[in-house]
Amino acid sequence: MRIPTLLALSAATASALPTTDKLFKRQAAANAPDSFGLAYTTPPPTADGGAWSDAFKRAAAVTSQMTLEEKLLVVTGQNGRCVGNTGAVPRLSIPALCLQDGPTGPRPVDGHTQFPAGVTTAATWDRDLIYERSRAMGQEFYDLGVHIALAPVTGGPLGRAPAGGRNWEGWLQISLVLERWYADPYATGEASYLSVKGMQDAGVQATSKHFIAYEQETSRNVYINKSAGAFPGLQLTDQLPISSNLDDTVTHETYLWSFAEAVRAGTSSVMCSYNRINGTHGCANSDALNGLLKTELNFQGFVVSDWGGVWATQPSVYGGNDLDMPGNGFAGILGVFYGDELEELVNNGTISESRLDDQVNRIFTPYFASGQADKTLPEVPFNAGIGGPPLDVEYRLVQKPSTLDLIRKIGEDGAILLKNDGGLPLKSPARIAIIGNDAGPPSRGCGATGDACPINNFNGTLSDAGGSGYSQPLNLIYPLMAIQEQAAKDSTKVTWSLNDTDIVTAQATAAGADVALVFVSAWAAEGYDRSDLNLSGGGNALVQAVAAVNKNTVVIMHIPGPTLVESWIDHPNITAVLAPLLPGEQTGPSLVSLLTGEISPSGKLPFTIAKVVSDYPPNTILAKTQNETLDPQTYFTEGNNIDYKWFDAKNIAPRFEFGFGLGYSTFEYSNIKKNETFAFDTLAIQKTNEKFVGQKEGESLYDVLLSVEVDVKNSGDVVACEVAQLYVEFPASANQPVRQLRGFDKVKQAAPGSTKTVSFPIRRKDVATWDVIRQKWAVATEAVTFHVGASSRILPQTITHTF
């Protein structure tokens, strides 16, 4: 099926389209190829591959021997075993490259690990675990023959909207969003760097996504005519995707930050997003792709479209997208662009062959740089392609036993203890009651129905969320199973009630026990946003019913992000609340060691939990019902003040602030000081072109200007970990958020009474703001204040510095 493109529309028809869209305007204005009215009429080609200069030379040598047809095969998705496939060029020993979802493990495939979600890994604040998770996941992708993993999410979404979801869309669950890390650009930047590096150290190319300002699911694709299967049919009745409208300062200071770190880590590819940015489609946005990404960040790899994110060939090729996915794959249901049409455009001189060569070079350069060209990857055993010929599918086990140990540790260290009035650790109870469907097994096992496990909280425990970010567990060890195993060793009696709406049985089960563990969850997935911030099903009612009959009620929450707890959090019978978020397939075992006290909880919130929805910035999701327009627009009016920065700016007390979390020990902070040792940046695998005011030859925005040091003492009586955090306060004249995270470090396994000195390196960028006039970063010229402590609101140590 070939869907007519915008270029085929007459000028009269095109002028009837929404005029706020730059792409449409350009089409309506003229058909001349270079009249886009943009600063980047010809996308900047890779100069030399940067740190990949050897790979670039090899790539260019291969490209120069290719025919036009062969080049088109490489830049246009083809049918094949993977969710995305490039065309092979056997004559030149170029294989079909396999691109495969997703951020919590390969999907939809069996025989691998369901990793803890990004948000859970974020909550560990442990750089080693963030890296190791990505490396272990990369190994599984590699062992399945995947060249390019469609992971990690690197700040699109960042977490502007507390209810951002990726709920089910009903047509195809492709791409992904759920995998957000921290509702903060600095911390997400650190996670982006480490997760790209971990993935690529395992020999798999990483895809950083979704570029850029992709912050809601609602209206990300056309919906009005979805029933007619028209996506992206471009009928005049169709709706355009949401346009994220944001200014230059917010673009640089909040949304571009984490992508800069992904580029510095040497990400092979960047995925452009479904949403429009400032009115122009993400995958045809020259300002974003050619300007921000390829020029300012000096990105040397390739841009791949989100599946169906290309709306027309010519604007996308010139807009900076290199690889069209799924291209000819998926039986054409997402539109067929590039390919034959690109051939005509090159043949009639509309698009220069040098631009096509650059697309191919950009795809090949990281292929050579990754080392994949010099070895033979394992055969792909699965068939995830759509619309291609049937292929044999072989079951292959790629999970390593050591990976189970790793993900159990992430689950332990990422669980956040929000309240503890003595409920935890458990005090050798004789009888434990387990209440709630979220403690139990999925009704049909996992894998029996593809992505449909878990589908909602009536289907067992929530260990991951849904959509293309979901991955199937090999063995889901659910909480009830793991608790029973421990209870058998301890001769503890365990009873349970797993039906959330059967309150009578829940209360009867809980009433006689020494402790009642209530399991609740909140469901979220790709494709739609959560409609509220409540627990799913009857979660709140279940917690209240149990607390009414058991004075030692402990609540365990499996949640994907901000979730409100006001209706019960202060209940005197609720003695502890633990939030393991989405811990992956070792969810049960990772919980048990926290319940018994073998390990002290050390997770801290990577987002803010408010008291009421209205405490969050308003209108961060433009709902369908709010505006049934063909041209939906969302304005980032809160600017840099997302999540905790909003609460600080408006002086609103959250229920639990960003960075907050308790443990079974206590920590004291003292002796803050400066160490003014300068250090050049050593972490850039690829250097960006970001400039700063007063820059001298050889200097980088990422050079360390000084370090702030502080002593952290374990003042309690058990071995524990502590996440120390540093926030910068700019001078008032800088017009910045009240405080911004610019450092974190996890003190690990601290013995009672021991003290460790934590050092936070401060780079130029950490104390700079974006100067829109000069189009450069500018280091603060007046004194800045550094605040150090245990959360975004517990900051006992302060020191100032003038740069």
Which of positions 219-278 make contact with ligand NAG (CB under 6 A)? 224-225, 228, 230, 235, 237, 246-248, 251, 277-278
Q: How far is the CB of 442 from ligand NAG (least distance, A)?
A: 8
Out of 7, 393, 649, 652, name the contact with ligand NAG by CB under 6 A: 7
> How far apart, in whole angstroms, are the C-alpha atoms of residue 716 and residue 602?
14
* 341 near ligand NAG, rule: CB under 6 A: yes
Handedness of CA 294, 685, 48, 270 (dihedral sign): negative
Residue closer to ligand NAG (CB basis): 202 or 515: 515
Of the ranges 294-302, 629-637, 685-693, 782-790, which one interacts with ligand NAG (CB under 6 A)? 629-637
Residue closer to ligand NAG (CB basis): 550 or 620: 550
- Identify the residue whose tokens are 């690889």: 323
Q: How far is the CB of 79 from ligand NAG (least distance, A)?
A: 23
Q: How far is the CB of 622 from ligand NAG (least distance, A)?
A: 8
Q: Characterize the bridge pairing of strands 740-750 and 416-420.
A: unpaired
Out of 6, 82, 158, 212, name the contact with ligand NAG by CB under 6 A: 212
Give residue 83's identity as a one-letter amino acid code.
V
> How far apart, in whole angstroms, are the C-alpha atoms of residue 594 and residue 590?
7
* 581 near ligand NAG, rule: CB under 6 A: no
Which of positions 547-566 make contact with ligand NAG (CB under 6 A)? 547-551, 564, 566
Q: How many CB atoms lie within 10 A of CB 64?
A: 10
Which of positions 453-482 make contact with ligand NAG (CB under 6 A)? 455-456, 458-459
- Identify the residue whose tokens are 């068939």: 383
Q: How many CB atoms lie within 10 A of CB 577?
A: 25
* 501 near ligand NAG, rule: CB under 6 A: yes
Out of 305, 350, 725, 736, name the contact with ligand NAG by CB under 6 A: 350
Which of positions 674-713 make contact with ligand NAG (CB under 6 A)? 675, 677, 707
Q: How far is the CB of 643 from ligand NAG (least distance, A)?
A: 19
SS3 annotation, 80-146: CCCCEECCCEHHHCECCCEEECCCCCCCCCCCCCCCCCHHHHHHHCCHHHHHHHHHHHHHHHHHCCC
* 567 near ligand NAG, rule: CB under 6 A: yes
Extended strands (E) in 284-412: 302-305
* 289 near ligand NAG, rule: CB under 6 A: no
The distance of Cα 755 from the centroid of its chain, to the nearest Å, equals: 34
Site string for ligand NAG, 594-623 (x = CB under 6 A): ------------------------------
Of the ranges 130-138, 160-168, 330-338, 452-460, which one interacts with ligand NAG (CB under 6 A)? 452-460
What's the chain's Rg over C-alpha atoms? 26
465 pairs with which residues across the strands?
A: none
Q: How far is the CB of 571 from ligand NAG (least distance, A)?
A: 6
306 annotated active-site: yes
CB 416 within 8 A of CB 561: no
Residue closer to ligand NAG (CB basis): 16 or 92: 16
Residue closer to ligand NAG (CB basis): 393 or 452: 452
CB 50 within 8 A of CB 687: yes
Residue closer to ligand NAG (CB basis): 396 or 624: 624
Measured N-to-C along each axis, helices 539-547 and 503-511 cross at an angle, to the nearest 10 degrees, of 40
799 pairs with which residues across the strands?
A: 786
CB 296 within 8 A of CB 288: no
Catalytic residue chosen out of the listed positions 306, 324, 438, 745: 306
Angle at 556 (CA atoms; ends 553, 560), nearest 5 degrees: 150
CB 97 within 8 A of CB 150: no
* Residues at the contact surface with ligand NAG, assessed by CB under 6 A: 7, 212-213, 224-225, 228, 230, 235, 237, 246-248, 251, 277-278, 287-288, 341, 344-345, 348, 350, 443, 455-456, 458-459, 499, 501-502, 532, 534, 547-551, 564, 566-567, 572-573, 626-627, 629, 631, 633, 675, 677, 707
Catalytic machinery residues? 306
